[in-house]
């Protein structure tokens, strides 16, 4: 069985916050994620080309790290939560300053609140002549969402995902929020986490992006994710760099599973390969039985 051992205080170290970006369509989620990803490519790296693996990590000038889930929109967020994965520590909600609080903005706010995850507002597109960030802040206040600037507790920053204006300060606010959350994890144990995305690559086989939440994942570890399992044969970061170990809050793309697990599936590392296989077989059996039952009804 999976051993549940309480971590000792002295084993815990700070870990980077894991951030999800949500907001109404066209308000700039993808632009913000793209800007952050590009800006944080270390100078001299392969032309700044990064692969889309569903998540990436950035290191700021001060050496601090943030991990981003690179699937904008709340579908991914709710899908993960529905499967029991609580991956997100902080939600950035992007609101276009030339628009209004829109239905999906409200949905994003409710999702974050239901999950008990702190929100940071990114009031976007302030480079546009018709941008009116104050109107947005007023609307938020009208919804009982008072930002700090207006005497409240919620962090917010005016940005342009297009020019990059304010994005650095926004990330500083993410780190500030992370400090308040006091995120800690024990890197010295078998890895645990959740699946971000997975697909079948014609040449490589099943490629899964997973987020390590606790412990450290190493090459050769035997992993069980949902109903799939296998030995980790290779690991890469979002730049395609080969890595041999991934600690807490590190997104990593792996080869070696016998199928594509579903986004939000939790994963564990097993010392005993046989045990992992048995559990995987049991899970597959249960799922088959469930689908037979739903078909009968
Ligand atoms: P998403 O649907 O929330 O992912 O929105 P996108 O990132 O795709 O952006 C929608 C459109 O708004 C695109 O045409 C972007 O180029 C544009 N856009 C995003 N951010 C900004 C910004 O800060 N300023 C301006 N002027 N345009 C932006």
Mean pLDDT along residues 125-131? 98
- Regarding an ipTM greater than 0.90, the answer is yes
28 is in an annotated binding site: yes
Phi first, then psi, for residue 275 (nearest 5°) are -65, -45
Counting Cα atoms < 13 Å in the Cβ hemisphere of 149 gives 15
What does the pLDDT read at residue 292? 79
Quickly state the pLDDT bin for 47 (edges 50, 70, 90).
Answer: very low
What does the pLDDT read at residue 48? 54
Average pLDDT for the chain:
90
30 is in an annotated binding site: yes
- 6 has a pLDDT exceeding 80: no
Evaluate whether 89 touches 183 at the Cβ level (below 8 Å): yes
248 is in an annotated binding site: no
Q: How far is the CA of 28 from the centre of ligand 1 (A)?
A: 4
Place of tokens 């010392």: 271
Q: How far apart are CA 214 and CA 201, in angstroms?
A: 27
Q: How far apart are CA 224 and CA 10, in angstroms?
A: 28
Distance of CA 256 to the CA centre of its chain: 22
Q: How far apart are CA 216 and CA 227, in angstroms?
A: 21
What does the pLDDT read at residue 73? 72
State whether the Cα torsion 70-76-77-80 is positive or negative.
Answer: negative
What does the pLDDT read at residue 143? 96
What does the pLDDT read at residue 5? 66
Q: Which atom of ligand 1 is nearest to the CA of 34?
A: 7
Q: How far apart are CA 287 and CA 16, in angstroms?
A: 35
Quickly state the pLDDT bin for 212 (edges 50, 70, 90).
Answer: very high
Mean pLDDT along residues 64-87? 84
- 163 has a pLDDT exceeding 80: yes
Structure tokens at 27: 């308000």
Give the residue from 209, 211, 206 showing the smallest Cα distance to 259: 206
Q: How far apart are CA 16 and CA 286, in angstroms?
A: 36
Best residue among 20, 75, 161 to mutate for probing ligand 1, ranked by most atoms within 8 Å of CB: 161
Cβ < 6 A, ligand 1 pocket: 23, 25-31, 72, 124-125, 127-128, 160-162
Mean pLDDT along residues 167-186? 96
Best residue among 20, 30, 31 to mutate for probing ligand 1, ranked by most atoms within 8 Å of CB: 31
Mean pLDDT along residues 292-297? 71
27 is in an annotated binding site: yes
- 275 has a pLDDT exceeding 90: no
Mean pLDDT along residues 15-38? 95
Q: Which atom of ligand 1 is nearest to the CA of 160?
A: 23
Evaluate whether 253 touches 240 at the Cβ level (below 8 Å): no
Q: How far apart are CA 210 and CA 216, in angstroms?
A: 12
Mean pLDDT along residues 221-242? 93
Q: How far apart are CA 216 and CA 7, in angstroms?
A: 14
What does the pLDDT read at residue 71? 79
The Cα-based distances of 126 to 11, 31, 123, 183, 267 in angstroms read: 44, 14, 7, 32, 41
Give the residue from 243, 154, 230, 171 showing the smallest Cα distance to 16: 171
Q: How far apart are CA 108 and CA 57, in angstroms?
A: 23
Best residue among 21, 26, 159, 163 to mutate for probing ligand 1, ranked by most atoms within 8 Å of CB: 26
What does the pLDDT read at residue 44? 46
Q: How far apart are CA 8 and CA 10, in angstroms?
A: 5
pLDDT digits (tens, 9 = 90+) for 103-115: 999 999 999 999 9
**Type and span of the H or E element at 282:** helix 273-296
Q: Which of 28-42, 173-187, 224-238 has the lowest mean pLDDT?
A: 28-42
25 is in an annotated binding site: yes
What does the pLDDT read at residue 45? 55
């Amino acid at each position: 069985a999976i051993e549940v051992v309480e971590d000792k205080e002295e084993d815990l170290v700070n870990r980077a916050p894991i951030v999800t970006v949500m907001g109404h369509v066209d308000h700039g989620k993808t632009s913000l994620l793209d800007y952050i990803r590009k800006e944080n490519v270390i100078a001299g790296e392969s032309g700044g080309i990064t692969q889309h693996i569903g998540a990436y990590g950035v290191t700021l000038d001060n050496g601090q790290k943030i991990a981003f889930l690179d699937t904008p929109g709340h579908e991914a967020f709710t899908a993960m939560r529905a499967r029991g994965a609580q991956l997100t520590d902080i939600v950035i909600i992007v609101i276009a300053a030339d628009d209004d609080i829109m239905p999906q903005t409200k949905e994003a706010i409710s999702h974050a609140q239901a999950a008990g995850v702190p929100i940071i507002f990114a009031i976007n597109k302030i480079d546009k002549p018709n941008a009116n960030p104050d109107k947005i802040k007023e609307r938020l206040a009208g919804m009982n969402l008072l930002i700090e600037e207006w005497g409240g507790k919620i962090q917010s920053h005016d940005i342009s995902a297009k020019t990059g204006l304010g994005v650095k300060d926004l990330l500083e606010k993410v780190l500030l929020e992370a400090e308040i959350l006091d995120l800690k994890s024990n890197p010295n144990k078998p890895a645990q986490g959740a699946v971000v995305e997975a697909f079948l690559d014609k040449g490589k086989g099943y490629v899964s992006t997973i987020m390590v939440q606790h412990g450290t994942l190493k090459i050769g570890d035997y992993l069980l994710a949902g109903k799939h399992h296998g030995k980790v044969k290779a690991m890469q970061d979002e730049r395609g760099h080969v890595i041999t170990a991934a600690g807490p809050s590190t997104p990593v793309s792996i080869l070696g599973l016998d199928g594509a697990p579903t986004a939000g599936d939790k994963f564990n590392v097993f010392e005993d390969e046989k045990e992992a296989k048995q559990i995987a077989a049991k899970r597959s059996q249960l799922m088959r039985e469930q689908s037979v039952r739903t078909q009968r009804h």
